[in-house]
Amino acid sequence: MIKALFYFLLVGFMLMLGACTTAPEKPAGFVVGEEQDKGEQILPDDRTSKTVLALLDSAQASAKAGQLHNAEAQLERALRIEPRNAVLWYYMAKLRLHQNRLAEAAGLAAKSNSLAGKDRKLRADNWRIIAHARNQQGDLAGAQQAQEQVDQLKQ
């Protein structure tokens, strides 16, 4: 009985160790600042490499600590490794949006969209960023169009 408990704990311990030494199994999103939308996060898809997930972890930690310049550098590193990963471009867009660099945020969101394929949720969020940017920049018609895209994708 004690032996069984011992082995049980040992296995548990080993599993814990394993979990500590490998990249996180479940990828986290990328939250920057106090986001308005507390809704479901957009996560990197299954094809995202462990390398990029590790960099995203660092970027998230940097962003949390308010070191946006570091987060930016880490996201760019991730993008050099997976330039066609639409979610990474979206995270960059979120970062820029938080910094109120709207034109850049819109550009990055559009880039993300150009690679997003059939990911409706991601595309909707990118269009939301574009709509917000256009709205803030006074391009109301453009914002309206972008918002229509959001609505259409959400159906």
Partner 1 sequence: MVRRPTRKRKSTVQQQNKRYSRTKSRIKNRLLRWPHWRKTVIGLAVLFLAYVVFLDVVIRVSFEGKRWALPAHVYARPLELYPGVRLSPSQFNQELERLGYRYAYRPTEPGTFARQDDRFYLITRSFQFWDSKEPSRQLDIHFADGRLESLRDASLDKELTLARMDPPRIGGIYPAHHEDRILVQLKDTPPLLGQALIVVEDRNFYSHIGLDPRAIARALWVNLTGSGGLQGGSTLTQQLVKNFFLSNARSLWRKANEAIMALLLEWHYDKNEILEAYFNEVYLGQDGNRAIHGFGLASRFYFDKPIERLTLPEVAVMVAMIRGPGYYHPYRHPGRLLERRNLVLDLMAQQGVIRQSQALSAKQSALGVIQDRTTSANSYPAFMDLVRRQLKEDYREKDLTSEGLRIFTTLDPSVQVTVEETVKQQVKALDRQRGLNDQLQSAVVITSTTNGEVLAMLGDRKPGYAGFNRVLDAQRPVGSLLKPAIYLTAIEKARQYNLLSLIDDAAITLKAQGGVTWSPKNYDGQSHGEVPLYRALVNSYNLATVRLGMKLGFEAIEDTLHRLGINKSIPPYPSMLLGAIELTPLEIAQMYQTLASGGFRTPLRAIREVMTADGKPLQRYPIHIEQTVDGKSIAVLTSAMQEIMRSGTGKGVRQFFPEDVELAGKTGTTDELRDSWFAGFGSDYLGIVWLGTDDNQPIHLTGGSGALVVWSDMMRRLQTQSLLPSAAEGVEVLPIDPESLLVAGYSCSGKVNLAFVKGTAPEYYAPCAGGGKR
Binding site for partner 1 (CB under 8 A): 21-23, 49-51, 53-55, 58, 62, 69-70, 72-74, 76-77, 79-81, 83-84, 92, 103-104, 107-108, 110-111, 114-117
Largest Cα separation within the chain, whole Å, is: 73
Q: How far is the CB of 40 from partner 1 (least distance, A)?
A: 23
Q: How far is the CB of 114 from partner 1 (least distance, A)?
A: 5
**Residue with Cβ nearer partner 1 (38 or 118):** 118
Q: How far is the CB of 97 from partner 1 (least distance, A)?
A: 14
**Residue with Cβ nearer partner 1 (114 or 144):** 114
- Tell me which residue of 84, 100, 16, 102 sits closest to 44, measured CA to CA: 84
Phi, psi of 141 (to 5 degrees): -65, -45
Q: How far is the CB of 140 from partner 1 (least distance, A)?
A: 19
CB atoms within 10 A of CB 123: 22
Measured in Å, how far apart are the chain's first and last C-alpha atoms?
57
What does the block give as tokens for 52?
């990029």
